[in-house]
Chains A and B, each alone.
Chain A
Amino acid sequence: MSEIIIRAIDLWKGYKVDGSVTPALRGTNLEIRRGEIVALFGKSGSGKSTLFNLIAGLDRPTKGRIEVDGQDLEGLGDRGRTNFRRLKLGFIFQFFNLLPTLTAFENVFLSLELANQPKPDLALKALKEVGLEGKEHRFPNELSGGEQQRVAIARAIVKRPSLILADEPTGNLDTLTGNHILELLTRRCHEDGTTLIMATHTRLTCRNATRVLRMVDGTISEETSNEELPH
């Protein structure tokens, strides 16, 4: 059995809306092992993005604890959490979230620079791997949606992180492009031994996962196989 890379224990998170607290997570527990490709399946508003933000250290839980690589995320402090995102975490968003003022190359290189590995050839190689050779100097608005998501994948994988969080990575793409993107992403994670957690509300995404977690109303209620998922 490989070691546990993420452990969430009794995780609670609430948001204040009109004066009252609405819980987004209600005592979530989670264990993910190194190299696993996990699909976090759930409807919109079930708490998937909240959980991702907590794992990434962008947000802090109301109650509970998250351990990454055996270390308490809260105990790392702001600097420690920033370093964790720089070195160990890759983030892929539904709306790509590329920096509009940077070219495809620069968006990828940014990730390397932050990880203190400013090697341009690595960025070029990553772009080539995602099939964007020749489009390195295009700005995001000069690329299609699929191409933008490929840049986002290159940005995430280029620094060889131990964990990639992909929040609805195909949610904004057509089925064919989505399939290509998923295949690319899972293949790269398999090859590098990177842990991948994908938040999704479609079955399609779950097909590529080795393990599927189901999220309902802020709790991971059951662990299910791909075949058991509703059509």
Chain B
Amino acid sequence: MSTLGAWLILFLPLLSAVTIAFGLHRSKTLSVGLSIAVVWAGFAIAAFHYLPALVQAGAAAHGAAGEHGAAGGHEGSGSGWVVADSIRWLSAGTTTFHYGILLDGLSTIMLLVVLGVGGLIHIYAVGYMHGDPGTARFFACLSLFMFSMLGIVLADNFFQIFIHWELVGVSSYLLIGYYYKKPSASAASNKAFLTNRVGDFGFMLGILFLYFATGTANFREMAEVVARPGFLEQAAFQVGGAGGWTFTHEHFLWVAGALVLMGIMGKSAQFPLHVWLPDAMEGPTPVSALIHAATMVAAGVFLLARVFFIYLPSETAMSIVAHLGMFTAFFAATIATTQFDIKRILAFSTLSQLGYMVMAIGLGSSDVAMYHLTTHAFFKALLFLGAGSVIHAVHTNDIREMGGLFGKLKITSTLFLIGTLALCGVPPLSGFWSKDGILHLTQDPPPWADNVFIHWLPTITAVLTSYYMFRLFFLTFVGKPRYHGHPHESPPVMWAPMAVLCTAAIVAGPMLFTQEVIEGFRTVTRPAGAPAFHHIHADPHTVVHALLIVGLGAGSALLAFGLGWVNPEVVKKLLGPVYRLFDNRWYVDDLYAWIVEHIQQNFARLCDGFDRIVIIGGLVNGSAWLTRASGAVLSRYQSGSVRTYALLFVAGVAALLALNL
């Protein structure tokens, strides 16, 4: 199967971005049209050219495996279907950098999500950005983003993925700071980029560690090296001689895994590098929907699935991943309960769901994580687009200035409600199958994560999720109208993509995503020994469990915000310090600000002083001063007196004689 389609998918958006930047931006219509066309062309190639091949290969492999009586738990991608291509890009001594395509099941599903959801959001953005003078610039940045993201999805080695990782950061910076004249927007884009940079530092170190340990940066080759018997016990190097401590490859892997995890923490906004995501809502809503809900933040989860083989051998690494995800999920959900900006609530919700995905990988199942990533992309994008619709109508983000919008914005409200239900995990919507699939894992966790927190915290988080989502819904769409002006429904160009996403959110359950399908979307680098995937069964026990969770959360929200029986102010006073903790985002941002102001700035001042005094003052100016001073001193010997010269002459000769005798 040729990789031409993949190369086209990857580079057409770049072509679009460059064309718009270098002249096409004068025509808004053409720019927008090109940008949208490129995305849908990519989707067409992925859906109609590669997907059928994947399905066919999967069916064939499944048929063959069925004969052997395998009951599930295939290793690797169900079929091992892969389309790969690699170009030698840069040679430096014995190291060669490649740029290539790795198109396997995992890439395919990610392509479909990115291109599909992305395409719908591109169309929505036409309506949302209507009338904005910089629309062509917006779509150029969107195309650049598509190129960067698709590069991550299709990359076949770590260096390439790192390049695109950074590119995605750049696109995010450009898009968050789209309203560049607003100081808060440009500050937010700086924050996003810098936080990502911190993560990328760890990421780069991790890549170098892995390259050093395995000798390659290519994912498939690396997976093979790690899977070689005896590799893990092999010593990488000794510390302290023969009797000292041996640093085996296993240690190497978990250190490298932790470092790569830093990059993932930055990109997927896990604690403690989550601080940029809420501020990133300064960008236009389509940006929030595309980048900060559906695709870019999911890149971290995608990477974890891709290089799962690094983490699975080490229990320490898996434990770190699982607990990190769990904590982030809970942490974000608590903050979301206190926010009043509609997009911020959704942003924290995204943080929380990403935590679920990371935790799922940490608990051993990359299948469930990717499944949740897919369903989450659908309903979170839907929710964001709906929020955009609402903002478009009432011209404010603050939910305290909304209320009773159900009547005015019927389509938006209905779609938003379905999205909310999907997110909370109400059966039979897709969110139930994916999110409760993860919760199911937490009740029967692997040995490295078997503790009371894993048992209870994700469930509590789910209750909190329902609570804040329904709080959002009630305050926005139900109750007494608190808005100003005359809100009206969005044009079809805006609600039609939402409707498509809504449909996807409804049907993306096990009917469509059967067990075979999910196994087909595995990556070809998946290690042996990874646990199998099973859909949860919709038995009465599970359904009641799910509905109970939703009910608890929604019920509290209903009491407080829907019916007004419980006064939220009273509750706020009762909870006092707890409420303040959540409202101030657990003071993490303040901590970082303090660190920057007192530690980093002082260090910078020290360095600046050293630079100015020692280097420029001392070395540069000093050497000039020394030259001038010595010249002034020595020139006094130019006396013009013949006798002095004669004396010096003789002295010189005497010196020469003395030296040579």
Q: Do A and B come from one complex?
A: no
